[in-house]
């Protein structure tokens, strides 16, 4: 059974960089079958795709966040990470990591972690 | 971005009922549509992909249909574990987008 678990600080000060890691168990991230994705949901709002990374190293980011986002892979630890720079209160959200088939549909999600941006 | 609109936003039903949730896309997405549900504090769980294909391990009480811009998720014989928030997601073009959710509550 594949499991994903997000980890990282629950509080970030503006305009610092938000950093989260997703640890994958029960499956390898060294696969050409999947994209490794980050999604967020601000309180009381809808779900928003942040971006994803492919084992080959290519990335795709939501244009609305592209200038501030970096997603990377660490195959030695079976993890992938998210960095979101210059955060503001609008970046307060539950952040999810997910495994996504290259066709685009998600089969496994992490349970999410709340990140609050506040001074 | 493609806008996804779900209806209803909330739904009250009884154990044993059959319910249908609708998801509409702002432009045609062929069958690139997935459904998942989420319970408070839990990871979202995938139910259906390609509009009508059941994710492995998901019971056949869940069914999806539609193509183009209109899609439905039907859940038959509701059980207590089915009461959750349901979402649709299009994966026709990036950024993939989600419906706002339908909260299914016990009557």
Q: Who among B43, B46, B89 is closest to A111 (CB)?
A: B43
pLDDT of residue A67: 97
d(Cα A39, Cα A57) in Å, to the nearest integer?
19
Q: Which pLDDT does position A99 carry in this prediction?
A: 97
- Judge whether residue B15 has pLDDT over 90: yes
CA dist list (Å): A114 to A10, A11, A76, B55, B79? 6, 8, 26, 27, 30
Which 3-state string (H, E, C) describes chain B?
A: CCCEEEECCEEEECCCCCEEEEEEECCCCCCCEEEEEECCCCCCEEEEECCCEECCCCCCCEEEEEECCEEEEEECCCCHHHCCEEEEEECCCCCCEECCCEEEEEC
**Neighbour tally for A118: CB within 10 Å:** 10
Which residues in chain A land under pLDDT 50? none
Q: What does the pLDDT read at residue B40?
A: 87
User: Per-residue pLDDT averaged across B8-23, rounded?
Assistant: 97
Which pLDDT value is given to residue A10?
A: 96
pLDDT reported for residue B86: 97
Q: Which residue's structure tokens are 């183009």? A: B68
* B97 contacts A49? CB cut-off 8 A: yes
Structure tokens at A81: 């990470």
Residue with the two structure tokens 């979402």: B87
Facing B43 at nearest CB: one of A47, A49, A109: A109
- Tokens 């009922």 label which residue? B17
Measured between beta carbons, which residues in chain A are less than 8 angstroms from residue B43? 4, 96, 108-112
Q: A31 in helix, strand or coil?
A: coil
What pLDDT is recorded for position A29?
A: 95
Task: Provide mean pLDDT across the span B82-101.
Answer: 96
Contact residues on chain B for A35, CB-CB shorter than 8 A: none
> What is the 8-class DSSP label of residue A12?
E
Which of chain B's residues have a Cβ under 8 Å away from the Cβ of A64?
95
- Residue B2 pLDDT exceeds 90: yes
Residue B83 is predicted with a pLDDT of 94
B58: distance to nearest CA of chain A, Å? 11
State yes or no: pLDDT of B26 exceeds 90.
yes
Tell me if B1 sits within 8 A of B89, measured CB to CB.
no
Confidence at residue B100, expressed as pLDDT on a 0 to 100 scale: 96
Gap from B41 CA to chain A (nearest CA, Å): 7
Cβ separation A46–B50 shorter than 8 A = no
């959200």: which residue's tokens? A93
pLDDT, position A2: 95
Shortest distance between the Cα of A96 and any Cα of chain B, in A, equals: 9
Q: Is B103 on the interface with A (CB under 8 A)?
A: no
Residue B41: per-residue pLDDT: 85
Mean predicted confidence (pLDDT) in B54-68: 97
Q: Which residues of B touch A49 (CB under 8 A)?
A: 94-97
Mean pLDDT estimate for chain B:
96
Cβ atoms of B74 and B23 closer than 8 Å: no
């Amino acid at each position: 059974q594949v499991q994903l678990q997000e980890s990282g600080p629950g509080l970030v000060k503006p305009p610092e960089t938000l950093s989260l890691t997703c640890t994958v168990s029960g499956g390898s991230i060294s696969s050409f079958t999947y994209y490794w994705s980050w999604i967020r949901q601000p309180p009381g709002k809808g779900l928003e795709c942040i971006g994803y990374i492919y084992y080959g190293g290519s990335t795709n980011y939501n244009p609305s966040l592209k200038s501030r986002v970096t997603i990377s892979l660490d195959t030695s630890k079976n993890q992938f990470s998210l960095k979101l720079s210059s955060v503001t209160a609008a970046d307060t959200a539950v952040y999810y990591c997910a495994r996504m088939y290259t066709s685009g549909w998600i089969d496994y999600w992490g349970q999410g972690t709340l990140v609050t941006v506040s001074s | 971005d493609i806008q996804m609109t779900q209806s209803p936003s909330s739904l009250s039903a009884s154990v044993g009922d059959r319910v249908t949730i609708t998801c509409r896309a702002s432009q045609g997405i062929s069958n690139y549509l997935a459904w998942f549900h989420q319970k408070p504090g839990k990871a979202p769980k995938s139910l259906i992909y390609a509009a009508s294909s059941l994710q492995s391990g998901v019971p056949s009480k869940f069914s999806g249909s539609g193509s183009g811009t209109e899609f439905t998720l039907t859940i038959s014989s509701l059980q207590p574990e089915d009461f959750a928030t349901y979402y649709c997601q299009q994966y026709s073009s990036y950024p993939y987008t989600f419906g706002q959710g339908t909260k299914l509550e016990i009557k």
